[in-house]
């Protein structure tokens, strides 16, 4: 798995980025609202813990158990600082240290595009999830076009460093349909989000 850029879009003060993130979380909230009876959540590839922090702040009345896993020890230190009351641990998305059906909801946001074997990761996410999985990936080619418009990664034709998979909404849905019969897809301008429901 390869890391991406270090730009923190979650706390950006730039109006356009704030608008994009507001739209992202609007779609995330819609998918989250479709997850019934969720009490435990695992965030795989949790990064600095911004998604967990968002869930804590937005849904703190639900008494959720939250846990995060990431491949980077340095990133986990930041996640712990951002969320001192949440358990974070080092882990590999291809081999998670949890029993089958351990969490009601498993998240992997902005992760799959960094993986050489995304289908293997999907199998593992499905294994540890009891019912629901929420995923998000850059929506191509719009994500790359957005990078070009802000004059970033021009030599890479707008492809963010570390992104080794590129999906249109249609192609991402096709990938997920190999592993799940029930999928809800939403687009958040330059991202594709999906709720996958286990049978």
Q: Match 């968002």 to its residue by tokens.
A: 54
What's residue 5's pLDDT? 45
Whole-number average pLDDT of the chain: 93
Give the global pTM. 0.93
| Average pLDDT rounded to a whole number, residues 42-68 | 94
Of 25, 39, 21, 1, nearest to 132 by C-alpha is 39
Task: State how far the Cα of 158 lies from the Cα of 144, in Å rounded to an integer.
Answer: 4
pLDDT in tens, 140-159: 999 999 999 989 999 999 99
Tell me which of 1.20.1050.10, 3.30.2320.50, 3.40.50.720, 3.40.50.150 is the CATH number of domain 38-138+166-197: 3.40.50.150
Reply yes or no on whether the pLDDT at 165 is more than 80: yes
Domain positions in the chain: 38-138+166-197
Least confident of 4-13, 144-153, 172-181: 4-13
């Amino acid at each position: 798995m390869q890391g991406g850029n270090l730009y923190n879009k979650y706390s950006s003060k730039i109006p356009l980025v704030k608008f994009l993130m507001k739209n992202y979380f609007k779609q995330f909230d819609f998918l989250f609202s479709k997850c019934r009876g969720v009490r435990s959540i695992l965030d795989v590839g949790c990064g600095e813990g911004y998604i967990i922090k968002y869930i804590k702040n937005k849904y703190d009345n639900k008494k959720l158990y939250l846990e995060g896993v990431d491949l980077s020890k340095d990133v986990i230190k930041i996640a712990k600082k951002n969320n001192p009351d949440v358990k974070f641990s080092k882990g590999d998305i291809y081999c998670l240290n949890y029993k089958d059906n351990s969490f009601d909801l498993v998240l992997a946001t902005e992760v799959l595009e960094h993986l050489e074997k995304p289908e293997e990761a999907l199998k593992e996410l499905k294994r540890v999830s009891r019912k629901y999985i929420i995923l998000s990936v850059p929506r191509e080619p719009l994500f790359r076009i957005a990078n070009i418009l802000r004059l970033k990664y021009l030599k890479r034709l707008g492809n963010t460093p570390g992104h080794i998979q590129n999906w249109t909404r249609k192609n991402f849905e096709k990938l997920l349909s190999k592993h799940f019969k029930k999928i809800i897809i939403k687009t958040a301008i330059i991202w594709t989000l999906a709720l996958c429901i286990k049978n």
